[in-house]
Amino acid sequence: MDSTNNRAKMDELTRRDWLVRIGKTAAVAGLSGEVSGAGAALSSLVQSAPRADTLPPGLYEPSNDHLTHALGADGLLHPVPLGSETDYRVPLSGPYAPKFFSAEDFKVVGRIVELILGEPTGSSHETRAEGSAPGTSSADVAEWVDFVAANSASVREAALKLAPDHRNLAVAYFGRERVESLEKTDVPALCGEGLAWLAKRAQEKYGREFLALQESLEVELLREIGDEPGARAAPEAGRRFFRWLKSQAINGFYRSPKGLKELDYKGNSFYAESPGCSGHEHSGE
């Protein structure tokens, strides 16, 4: 029993020591302006990090490349390292070109996002200056929805190929419902069927395309596939699409600059020491 406790304490000390050392190295590199030269030091620290043998192999590998890259850029858009395997957000110099939706379908998706977020018509497709970020949340969110849809097939395929121990870890962390939803949801089919229903219903009910409707009629049409009790009579294709789109709109909003500001998110800040809790009193700690 004593040996087990001693080993746990040694592991904890090692972990703490590693975190302190890597924090000091990062701080010194950032203050001295020699971020690019900190790679070797960070690499040795990363390689000496304690391994969690109970976790599946290949997970939770710290990367000094990500650390040095983060320290080397303090702007909204990070420079993309040559030969990087990571997809970084790059500045745009014109209208966003959708990767999954057709140009017309992307306008419909953007309009629904505007209605969900309560932003002006057309704000999801505004043209931004070269190198700038989107000026409205709906622009960010519409691009996020397209990004998720474009990558959904490969993500689903990867989820279905997870090794049993990796899947068990995902279930333990995210919950069984979310994991099974990722495995079962065919996003391309869901979007195609949902948009087709919306176009057909707009013609049947109003004799016009969805984007040609007044805002009040657009909202009325979406209420048919919303969460109201009367929406249950609507076809499943429309309801599943709108439910998915609302979920992605929420996810995308809280990844946008405006959403992160609303959350008062400070996760990208570096502190030399813990700032502690604000607005709370912790006596005896």
Pick from 221, 218, 225: nearest CA to 241: 225
What does each of the 285 residues of the chain score in pLDDT, given as a tens digit?
555 555 444 444 455 554 555 454 444 444 444 444 445 554 554 455 444 455 555 544 545 665 555 555 555 555 666 776 666 666 666 778 899 999 999 999 999 999 999 887 766 766 555 444 445 688 889 999 999 999 999 989 999 999 999 999 999 998 999 899 989 999 999 999 999 999 999 999 999 999 999 999 999 999 988 877 765 667 788 889 999 999 999 999 988 888 888 888 777 666 666 666 665 565 544
Helix boundaries (H) for 185-256: 187-206, 215-223, 236-253
Partnered with residue 92 across adjacent β-strands are 132
The full set of domain ranges for the chain reads 2-71, 103-262
Pick from 248, 271, 261: nearest CA to 76: 261
Q: Write the burial class of residue 38 (CB in 10 Å: 0-12 exposed, 13-18 middle, 19+ buried).
A: buried
- Token pair of 178 as six digits: 């979310």
Query: Mutual orientation of helices 2-32 and 64-71 as an angle, nearest 10°?
Result: 40
Residue 136: how many CA atoms within 13 Å on its side-chain side? 18
Partnered with residue 132 across adjacent β-strands are 92
Whether the full predicted model's pTM is greater than 0.85, yes or no, is no
